[in-house]
Structure 1
Amino acid sequence: MATEQEKSVMIVGIDDSTESSHALEWTLDKFFVTYSSNHPFKLIIVHAKPSPSSITGLSGPGFIGFVPFVEEDLRKIAATVSEKAKELCNSKLVNDVIIEVVEGDPRNVLCEAVEKHQATILVVGSHGHGAIKRAVLGSVSDYCAHHAHCTVMIVKKPKTKH
């Protein structure tokens, strides 16, 4: 099998959603657990931490007092997301993983991570928003599929039957 330097890079984009967790778990099961220690990829997990101003939509003198509180909350969320990803990897006995937290818009952060690491595959989860919500919010997976310079795998969480 390929040595660590020869392995292709696979990036998995994560956030605090169940869809993201499902995409990571699916990726681990299909590409890492199956191959045991001889998996063909170097795994890098990337979480895009929003900036405080992008969360609140505020700016100006009154906003400055809120920045430390918002920043602290965003830092805690990023730490929780990273820890859950690490725990999931450990539970699947995938210990050779890099987790990066980068501030910025997830679409740009993921595409930039692909370039930085020369990734061959980017894996993202699908939130399954409808056309209107996707048009208003923007779809990270759709953006990455059109702008990332690698193969983009969009993992959809199976619908549960009622």
Structure 2
Amino acid sequence: MATTESDSEKPVMMVGIDESEESFYALEWTLDHFFVPYSPNYPFKILLVHAKPPPSSAIGATGPGAANVLSLTEAGLKKAASRVIDKAKDLCHSKSVHDVTVKVVEGDARNVLCEASEKLHASMLIVGSHGYGAIKRALLGSVSDYCAHHARCSVMIVKKPGIKH
């Protein structure tokens, strides 16, 4: 009888997801290249991590009524996270990948992904790239660049193919 590797022994492949088209392209690319061809004996466990911003980072409300604004903002952020998770699970299921673990962690995406990859013993972290130039990257910050320099596991940055001129 052949022995099979149990899911707990498989290396963890973590994919950072958000609402962006680039994030879902990276997830789809990952599923197509690492999971579907091996069906159903995938070489990895897949873990999807979504960083939900804290409500205080979305608004700067103080004074009377701030508590109401914070609770409404929190509800909106939870709904947005739920939409991202549902869309990601639907994409996985459409590719016949049903054993998917999902984590939603509150905080800045750069820190959340690096800390989660370490805490959850990921062998690889996969993130999408918006393809920002140097100026936008400097102003907005780049999650993929930060992860490439700070994560303690291998990081794959998946870029969506550009339009040829």
Whether TM-score is above 0.5 comes out as: yes
User: Which aligned pairs between 1:13-162 and structure 2 lie closer than 5 A?
Assistant: 13-56=16-59, 58-62=60-64, 63-161=66-164
CA distance in 2, matches of 1:158, 1:55: 31
CA distance in 2, matches of 1:158, 1:49: 27
Aligned residues: 161
CA distance in 2, matches of 1:155, 1:2: 28
CA distance in 1, matches of 2:74, 2:164: 39
CA distance in 2, matches of 1:152, 1:50: 22
3-state SS in 1 of match to 2:8 = coil
Q: Which has the larger radius of gyration?
A: 2
Q: Deviations over 1:92-130 (max 9, x none)?
A: 000001011111000011011111111110000001111
What's the offset of the Cα at 1:60?
A: 2.6
Q: Which runs of 5+ in 1 are unaligned?
A: none
TM-score by length of 1: 0.95
Q: Deviations over 1:107-162 (max 9, x none)?
A: 01101111111111000000111111110111000000010000000000011357
Assess if the C-alpha contact under 8 Å between 2:61 and 2:69 holds in 1: no
Runs of 4+ in 1 over 3 A off after TM superposition: none
3-state SS in 1 of match to 2:127 = strand
3-state SS in 2 of match to 1:66 = helix
TM-score by length of 2: 0.93
3-state SS in 2 of match to 1:65 = helix
3-state SS in 2 of match to 1:5 = helix
CA distance in 2, matches of 1:5, 1:98: 12
Q: 60-69 vs 97-106, which deviates more?
A: 60-69
3-state SS in 1 of match to 2:96 = coil
